[in-house]
Amino acid sequence: MPSEQNDTGRRPATMRDVATMAGVGIATVSRVVNGKPVTPDLAERVTRAAELLGYRHDLTASSLRRADRRTHTLGLVLEDAANPFSAALHRAVEDAAAEQGLLVLAGSTDEDPVRERGLLKTFTARRVDGLIVVPTGQTDTDLDAARRAGTPVVCMDRRTTAPQVDTVTVDNRAGVRATVKRLHEAGHQRIAFLGDLRSIWTAEERYAGFVEGLAEVGCVLHPSLVRRGLHGPEAAQEATRELLALAHAPTALVSGQNLLTIGARMTLQELQLQSRVALIGFDDLPLADLLEPGISVIAQDHAAIGREAATLLFDRLEGEAGPARHCVLPTRYLARGSGELPAPEGI
C-alpha cells in the first residue's frame, strides 16, 4: 500500500521523524507537543526539529489518549450562519469557548432536520466535548441520543422536548405582547402578523404572544391579517403585498423574524408606504437605524444568549448533574420610528 502523502508529494512528518532529528526519544517529543515539562534545551531541540520537518500534531488522537479523553472542541449547530442573528450567536459562543481554550466547529441546518441530523452525527463522530444547538424542532430524539451517548447538549434560542437538555431562550411571548400593546396605544386596530415556519419553536411562541397581545388590548384577531409558514425575505415581500391589497388592509405589521422584517420593509418601500404603515420586527438588523424611518425591533441580547449557553455546557462538562435547566432572558424594545407611526385618522 502506498504511504500517505501531503500536497507536496512527501510523506507527512511523524513524531518518530522529529525524535530522530532532535536526537531524543519519542516520549520526549510527546511531552513537548502536549505541553508537559521538559528542560529548556530539550524543548528547543524538539520545537526546532518539528518546525524544520513541518510536523503537525494530531490533537484529537492525543486528546483521546489522555485520561479525560477531551478533544477541546465544541460542535455548534446553527440555523443559517449567514443570518445576522446566527452570526452573532456564533461569535458569542466562540468568544466564551476561546476563554476556556476550546475550538468551535460550526454548521448550518437551513431548517432541514436531515441536515441537522447529519451535523449531529458528524460532530459526535469527531468526538466533540459538547454540542450547542439551535434545533429545527424535528430532531428531539437525536439530541437525546447524543446526550445519552455521553455528549452534553445545550439548545439555545429554541426549546426542545428532549429530556435532560439545558436550554437558553428569550421571553418571546412577552416581547410580542408588549409590541401589540404599543401599537394599540398608537391607535392601531388592524394589526397583521408575519410568521416563520410553524415547525420552529420560536415562530409558534411569537405567534402565541401576538394572539395573547390582541386579547389583552381587546383587539379582534382577523385571520385574514395573519400570514404564517413564511421563510425568507421573498416570502415576506409577497405576503406583505397581499395584506396591503386587502379591502381592509392593516395599518401595522408585526414581523416574527429578522429576514421577514427585511421582506416586509422592502414591500413598504416599493409601495411608498414605509411612513404610513407601522412595522415592528423581532430581532435586530444591521443598519436598521439608518433607514427613514428606522426599523423598530424587539431585540435579543445575542452575547448573553451565547454566553449563557456556553456556561451551561461548561458546567455539564465539569460534571454538573441534576435536571435540565432552562434559562429565559428578557427582550428589549428599540424604538426607531417605524413602530411609532400612528394609525391613520378615522381607521
CATH number at residue 50: 1.10.260.40
Residues 44 and 146 in one domain: no
Position 210 in a domain: yes
Residues 46 and 164 in one domain: no
Q: What would the pLDDT profile of 304-313 be if each residue is shown by its tens digit?
A: 999 999 999 9
Residues 203 and 216 in one domain: yes
Residue 87 corresponds to which cell in the numbers above?
A: 452570526
Residues 23 and 47 in one domain: yes
Residues 160 and 177 in one domain: no
- pLDDT given at position 29: 87
Number of domains composing the chain? 3
- Read off the DSSP letter of residue 187: T
Task: Assess contact for 296 and 261: CB atoms under 8 A.
Answer: no
Range with the poorest average pLDDT among 6-10, 101-105, 178-182: 6-10
Give the global pTM. Answer: 0.79
- pLDDT given at position 125: 86
Length of the chain equals: 347
- pLDDT given at position 7: 44
Position 103 in a domain: yes
Strand 332-334's sheet: what is its strand order? 226-227, 191-194, 252-255, 278-282, 296-299, 332-334
pLDDT at 224 over 90: yes
Q: Which value, in Å, is the radius of gyration of the alpha carbons in the chain? A: 26
Mean pLDDT of 222-230: 97
Domain span at 23 = 15-57
pLDDT band at 347 (very low <50, low <70, confident <90, very high): low
Position 244 in a domain: yes
Most confident of 31-40, 125-134, 147-156, 178-187: 178-187
Range with the poorest average pLDDT among 131-135, 161-165, 233-237: 161-165
154 vs 19, 134, 180, 219, CA distance in Å? 42, 9, 31, 38
pLDDT band at 63 (very low <50, low <70, confident <90, very high): low
Rounded CA-CA distance 183/29 in Å is: 68
pLDDT band at 219 (very low <50, low <70, confident <90, very high): very high
Residues 213 and 154 in one domain: no
Where does the chain have alpha helices with state H? Answer: 15-22, 26-33, 40-53, 59-65, 84-99, 113-125, 140-148, 172-185, 201-217, 233-244, 258-270, 302-317
**Alpha carbon of residue 26 to chain centroid:** 43
- pLDDT given at position 171: 98
Position 247 in a domain: yes
Specify which residues 155 forms β-bridges with: 133, 167
